[in-house]
Amino acid sequence: MSRRTLNVALLAAFLASLALNWAVRPQPWRPNREFIPEMVRTPRFNAYSTNPNFPNGMTLQAPVGGTIPRGFLPVHYAPTPEDALRAGDTLESPLRPDDAQAIGRGSVVFSNFCAPCHGATGKGDGLVAQRGFPAPPSLYADNARKIKDGQIFHILTYGQKNMPSYASQLSREDRWRVIAFVRSLQKQASSVPAGGQP
């Protein structure tokens, strides 16, 4: 076969492929062919509806025993005053005291969750306290300065007296950040006499 014949044959094959591509081109008004349509349109079940695919007939399944949800590591302390003291002795903040980024985030968390009761500066004069709810102690008082970071973490996690738990609203990291912010407030007011107001 000569080179010219080969070129003509290749050109004819190329033109034939172009014609076939045009003939089978996608048409927007026609749906594509489906292969295994059950995978395309799988029946859905609402979370609380019955489901024949599981032995207990429920769609929403309980977590497997011993599993931990992502981002919710357990805290191995009980919500008791004794365990609050134990947390103070055994838990240490993972943050550096001068971590400006953590303190900045702690300031935002404090403003959103703590200031309504503790006040914008931590004096215990928040709007909730001004409306008649028992005022929390000042964060500048002697006992607040002496309490350990781990015990504050326990209080944020489980609550104490009139203060509720914030474990469901604040991540572990944000609890440590707000503690760093409170420590920065106390450090700024370190020249104030113990038990006084800044």
For residue 136, what is the domain's CATH number? 1.10.760.10
Report d(CA 56, CA 67) in Å as an integer. 20
Beta carbons of 155 and 85 less than 8 angstroms apart = no
In a domain, 46, yes or no: no
Q: How many domains does the chain have?
A: 1
What pLDDT does 193 receive? 53
End-to-end CA distance of the chain: 101
In a domain, 159, yes or no: yes
In a domain, 166, yes or no: yes
Q: Which domain holds residue 137?
A: 81-188
In a domain, 53, yes or no: no
pTM to 2 decimal places: 0.65
Q: Which of 105, 110, 86 is nearest to 95 (CA)?
A: 105
Positions of the chain with pLDDT lower than 50, given as ranges: none
In a domain, 29, yes or no: no
What pLDDT does 95 receive? 94
What pLDDT does 180 receive? 96
In a domain, 118, yes or no: yes
